[in-house]
Amino acid sequence: MAQGFTLPAVGAEGFQRTAARDAPGNDRTKEMPLSSPLKLMTLGASALALSACATTGAADTAAAPAAPGAPVLTERSAAEFEADRTAILAMAGEYTVTFDFSEFMPVEAGYELAEDKTTPAREVVYVIEDTGDYIALQHLLLVGDPSAPMVIKHWRQDWLYEPERLMAYQGFGTWEMHAVADADAAGAWSQTVYQVDDSPRYAGIARWEHASNAATWEPEATYRPLPRRDATIRDDYDVIEAVNRHTVLSWGWTHEQDNSKVILRDGEPRELVREHGINTYTNADLEGDGAAAEYWAATEAYWADVREAWDNIMLADVFTVDDDADGTLLYGPVLSEGQAVFYGAKDTETAFGEAAEVIELRVTADGGAVDVR
C-alpha cells in the first residue's frame, strides 16, 4: 500500500538530551509484523506514539551552564525529535526497489570503468523494535513468483538517538568501536547497517534535516566492506569509503551512496575509482506480501538470538570477522539456519546453537575467542 510521508511542524519546545536516553519503557519491545498492507503501515504510526515518553520530565530540568571553552551541544526540540522519528519510521512499508550503481570517474591511471549495475527488487520493511530513541528496521526481499514469493532476509538498519559509541570499519574484516563525543552526539542519530546474517557492515552519525517536502540524513564518509556485487567477482580494492545519504519523500525514499573504492593493502590509502549509487524505494501495494509476515513470524525468535549475539560481540573495543567473498564461512551458514527454522526442519534453539558455533569459529573480539551462548 502506498505510504505517504508528511513532515510535522517543528516547534520551539525544549528537549533535554538525557530524556531520550532515560525514557521509560526502554525495553526494546518488538513490533510484530502484520499480514495486511494496511496493518503494515500502522507499525510506524503506533510506534510513533512512543516518542511522548522522550519528553517526560524535560520541562522540569534546567540545563547546567556550559564551562568556558566547552563544545556547544546542539539540542533537539521535542518537535524536532518527533520529526526525526517520523522520517525514520516512514522507511517501513512495502516497496518496489531499484538498486543502481555506476562507476563514473577512474582515479587510478589506466583503470577501466566497470559496467553499470541496475537490479530491481520488491521489499517489505518492518519496524521490529522501537523504544522511542532506538528504532530497528528489518528489510525482507520477495523473490520469484509474485503471488507466492520466496522470502529472503535482507539488510537491517538500526537507528539510535545520541549514541555513546559507534562502529567503524578498518578494512580486512576488522571493526573498532569508537566513543562519540558529546558535541557530536547531541541531537544526532546513528545508523548502523547489518548484513543479511546480522553481522555488522557500517555505521554513521548525523542530524536529520527537515524541509517542507523532504527529510535528509547525511553523515561524514566512512569505510565499509566490499559490497557482494563486487566481492564475488573482483579483488582489486579493499574498502569503500562512502557518504551514505537517506532522503524521505512523499512517494517513498532514497538511499544514495557517494562511493570511493580504496586500496589499503599497500599501506597508504589510494583511491581507485569513484562510483555513485542510488537505491530507490517507491511505495507499493505488493502482491504476496503475506509471505513476509509468515517468514518473520516463524524466524523472529531465531534472529533475535543472533542479534543478541552480535550485540554482545560489539561490547568489545575491536572485533574481526573471517568470511570469504561468497559468504560460505559465516554469512551462508547463519542465513541457512534461519531458513531451516522457517521450513520447520529445526527449532529455534537448535538452529541458534549451530549458528552460534559458526559465529564463535569465525569471530574474535579484543584478540580472543567469543562465547555467544
Of 124, 146, 147, 128, the residue nearest 136 (C-alpha): 128
Q: Which tens digits make up the pLDDT trace of 234-288? A: 999 999 999 999 999 999 999 999 999 999 999 999 999 999 999 999 999 999 9
Q: Name the phi and psi angles at 137, rounded to 5.
A: -115, 125
* Partners of 50 in the β-ladder: none
pLDDT at 10: 39
* Report field, pTM of the whole predicted structure over 0.75: yes
- Asked if residues 198 and 156 have their Cβ atoms less than 8 Å apart, the reply is yes
pLDDT at 67: 53
Q: Which regions of the chain are under pLDDT 70?
A: 1-73
Residues in the chain: 373
Which pairs count as long-range contacts for 29-33, CB under 8 Å and 24+ apart, including other chains?
29/129, 29/130, 29/131, 30/128, 30/129, 30/300, 30/304, 31/126, 31/127, 31/128, 31/129, 31/130, 32/296, 32/297, 32/300, 33/124, 33/126, 33/128, 33/292, 33/293, 33/296, 33/297
pLDDT at 52: 33
Q: Which residue has the cell 520466496?
A: 150
Q: Which tens digits make up the pLDDT trace of 167-208? A: 999 999 999 999 999 999 999 999 999 999 999 999 999 999
